[in-house]
Structure 1
């Protein structure tokens, strides 16, 4: 399997998965909130719904980006929404602040747990690594994200095998605890909308795609790639259902029950890496948006912008209470992405693919 094939069909999925896992289901908490609270069977149904939405939306986005050569979110959204494109940018920046602030806090806690050093040092380490990776741009990001995705998949598979070999009976019995009074698709729609809302940040990787067929297939695969680790973790969480519903960090409960300290150590390192990936993906997406307007942006400026966004999101936003305010509006943000991004993509975007009404953004 050559590198061109991987870049066309698998790289976008690896980068999408890298974007969502650090700010999403890496700790297992979002899987509990959006899926497991509905019950084991309904949870799997909601996951299937989310996967279908991801694949469908990504397939359309990749083809629109490819056909119009719009490889960053500013030009992509301007054509999609017209004069209303700034609404998406506001939502994007709000999403960045929320995700990065949570990610920064979690990074500090993980490094503290592993090495018993102050949380602030963990945050600083994360910021330095993000700034360094952003400095070198798309080429390094694509290579690192692909490598870390393979490592992440390997660790998740090992965790699932360990959990299943020990708690297979418990996992099987959990499906009999499904309540009939639950939601079967709403959780999947909300989860898909929240995570897919930041997808335009990864359009830089679509440059490798040359045909409509490649774009569609790549998008469909990307949705599945993004959900497979979540599926493995969801099944692992069932080993402690329903008490895992109240766990602040569900994955830690699973790892503690296994009693496999070395796996917990490795998992925490991998999870820390996913936080870095998510930060890099969001900030690089913003940098690509700036480059579209100011092509002379230097690598040092890229790194400086990244560090500035991290500082604003992790320290300033928390200090002024902005993160708490955004967190309270978490559901509103989800519906905002659905209305401003997802629905326009599957209506306007799909129409333009089918009827070729012109897509490429012409710079003013």
Structure 2
């Protein structure tokens, strides 16, 4: 029987699944991210969500097609093609943002697992570090399967959480929308402010796109890149709206909107099994996000190593890099979730927009439509001759 990963599933759905699975940790796992980049604007927040859907979808379609056309299956190759000698700028911002996102997830997971499962903070962090190290040790085959089944479970989990919260608070959420309440934010809120918040949300989450490049190798046609990009945009935005409407039912409560982990507060009045399940789900999101972002970095290192020495990283090297990155993130996590998200994400978003979004929307679009696709295997043969 043909491997399902090599068929239509691998070409259309897998890139979207991997992208969403890496986004989930830094994008909406705690709910704090949605507060900072949408929900705090109350009744106007949904405008940011529309902008986020458009931004995620356009960037996914362009990234997938650019990677497919120029056979750039790791981010070093992609950015050397996109911005030439300045590709190293993305390297710097990506690694910094990857550690930042993992730090936020480590901090959140330590707090959540302690509150929901009674697990000591460090026991939870060490367990997750070991799992991520193992995933990177065995490489992309195991990561693809882990993320495919894990993401389906995570989406189901967040859907259940959202239904539980929204079904019990919808009258309050409707009242916020109908009254145009934006009272959590002082002063008058402009539509542009909300839309720009959505742009920044897309901006810092651009760091998750390289994690899916290894799956693009299966795509052969532009249609496949476009369709999988649209699917990715939907997968990435639906959880944003689920979280937004959940928070809106508690707007403008300082207890929820001021919490490090708003989801934990919103689920506080539900049965213990719901809280415990949420702790497990968030622990899983850290594993998915960490393994995806670290795998992208490992692929980039392996590409350069192979180019310079004609050797590849060993499984042990991959595992050590993963664990080392997680250790740095855990140290950074001591700063605290709210400060990391409010300050760190915003700063990194501007960097990602400058070195990724703007070049892809200009140089990338030009090369996709006007530059002739190169036959790289042919070039290698000529060079070897």
- C-alpha change, 1:324 and 1:267, in structure 2 (3 Å) is closer
TM-aligned CA distance change 1:170 to 1:118, over 3 Å: same
Map residues 135-284 of structure 1 onto 2, 5 A cutoff.
135-178=137-180, 179=182, 181-182=189-190, 183-243=193-253, 244-257=256-269, 259-284=270-295
Query: What does residue 329 of structure 2 align with?
Result: 313
Pairing 1:47-196 to 2, within 5 Å after superposition: 47-178=49-180, 179=182, 181-182=189-190, 183-196=193-206
Contact between 2:109 and 2:279, CA under 8 Å: does it hold in 1? no
- Please name the residue that 1:5 is paired with: 8
Q: Which whole-Å CA distance do the structure 1 matches of 2:50 and 2:20 have between them?
A: 16
- Provide the rounded CA distance (Å) in 1 between the counterparts of 2:268 and 2:344: 33
Q: Is the 8 A contact 1:14 1:226 kept in 2?
A: no
State the Cα deviation string for residues 178-225 of structure 1 (Å, max 9, x = none): 246332311111101110134123211112212111011111211110
Question: Any stretches of 5+ residues in structure 1 without a counterpart?
Answer: none
Mark the CA change 1:248 to 1:177 in structure 2 (over 3 Å): closer, same or farther.
Answer: farther
Stretch moving more, 72-81 or 241-250: 241-250
Equivalent residue for 1:285, pick from 281, 285, 296: 296
Decide whether aligned partners of structure 1 residues 360 and 184 sit closer, same or farther in structure 2, where only a CA change above 3 A counts: farther
Asked if the contact 1:197–1:341 (Cα under 8 Å) also holds between the matched residues in 2, the reply is no
8 Å CA contact 2:104, 2:341 repeated in 1 = no
Q: Give how far 1:319 is off.
A: 8.1
TM-score normalised to structure 2 length: 0.87
1:25 aligns with 2:15: no
Secondary structure at the aligned position of 1:256 is classed as coil
What's the counterpart of residue 313 of structure 2?
297
Classify 1:330/1:228 alpha carbon distance in 2 versus 1 (closer, same or farther; 3 Å): closer
Q: Contact 1:66–1:209 (CA<8 Å) still a contact in 2? A: yes
Q: Judge conservation of contact 1:25–1:230 (CA < 8 Å) in 2.
A: yes
Per-residue deviation, 1:309: 1.3
Partner of 1:350: 365
- The change in CA–CA distance for 1:139 and 1:56 in structure 2 (over 3 A counts) is same
CA RMSD, 1 decimal: 2.5
SS of match in other structure, 1:23: helix
In structure 2, runs of 5+ residues without a counterpart are 183-187, 307-311
- 8 Å Cα contact 1:110-1:122 kept in structure 2: no
- The answer as to whether partners of 1:135 and 1:303 remain within 8 angstroms in 2 is yes
Instruction: Give the 3 Å change call, closer, same or farther, for CA 162–327 of structure 1 in structure 2.
Output: closer
The superposition leaves residues 312-342 of structure 1 with CA deviations (integer Å, 9 ceiling, x where unpaired) of 2223x56899x98997454221111111100
CA contact (8 A) 1:79 1:360 kept: no
- Indicate conservation of the 8 Å contact 1:92/1:198, yes or no: no
